[in-house]
Amino acid sequence: MKLYSPDGSELMKIEMLEREGEVLLLKGTAFGAMPITAKLSPQEMRGGFSLLNLKLICFLISMLFRR
The H-or-E segment that residue 60 falls in is helix 54-63
Q: Where are the domains of the chain?
A: 2-63
Our CA dihedral for 16, 10, 8, 44, rounded to 10 degrees, sits at 50
Q: What is the pLDDT of residue 32?
A: 85
pTM of the prediction? 0.72
Query: Is residue 57 within 8 Å of 41, Cβ to Cβ?
Result: no
Apex 13 CA angle, 11 and 15, nearest 5: 160
The answer, yes or no, to whether residue 64 has pLDDT greater than 90, is: yes
Note the pLDDT tens digit of each residue in 6-58: 999 999 999 999 999 999 999 999 998 899 999 999 999 999 999 999 999 99
Q: Which residue(s) pair with 51 in the sheet?
A: none
Q: What is the pLDDT of residue 3?
A: 92
